Amino acid sequence: MAAINKSQELIDGTVWLSLYKGNVLAKGRESPSSLYDQELSSMDIAGGFNQKDSEGFIKINAVRLMAHHAIIMRNKTHSEK
């Protein structure tokens, strides 16, 4: 119980729920200590997102995907023999 209590120390705010036929849907939420800042989330702010920054990430994932494709093709070739 101590771990749960500790994890909830900084939890504050309001959540709006909708109840319908046994379902609960979150309709909205707000918190004065939220980590999300709409002004900072834009990729258009000065000094913000540069598409070139994604290049390394894309190359790293491409290696993984190419290896996966090579394994699939190798297995396909072996099963056709």
Is residue 40 within 8 A of residue 57, CB to CB? The reply is: no
- List beta partners, residue 14: 30
Amino acid 46: pLDDT = 61
Each domain of the chain, given as residue ranges in start order, spans 2-32+50-80
Regarding pTM above 0.85, the answer is no
Amino acid 32: pLDDT = 84
Q: Please give the chain's pLDDT, 81 residues, in tens.
A: 999 988 888 888 899 999 999 999 999 999 887 777 777 666 666 666 777 878 888 888 889 889 988 998 888 887 776
- Strand (E) or helix (H) holding 45: none
Is residue 30 within 8 A of residue 12, CB to CB? The reply is: no
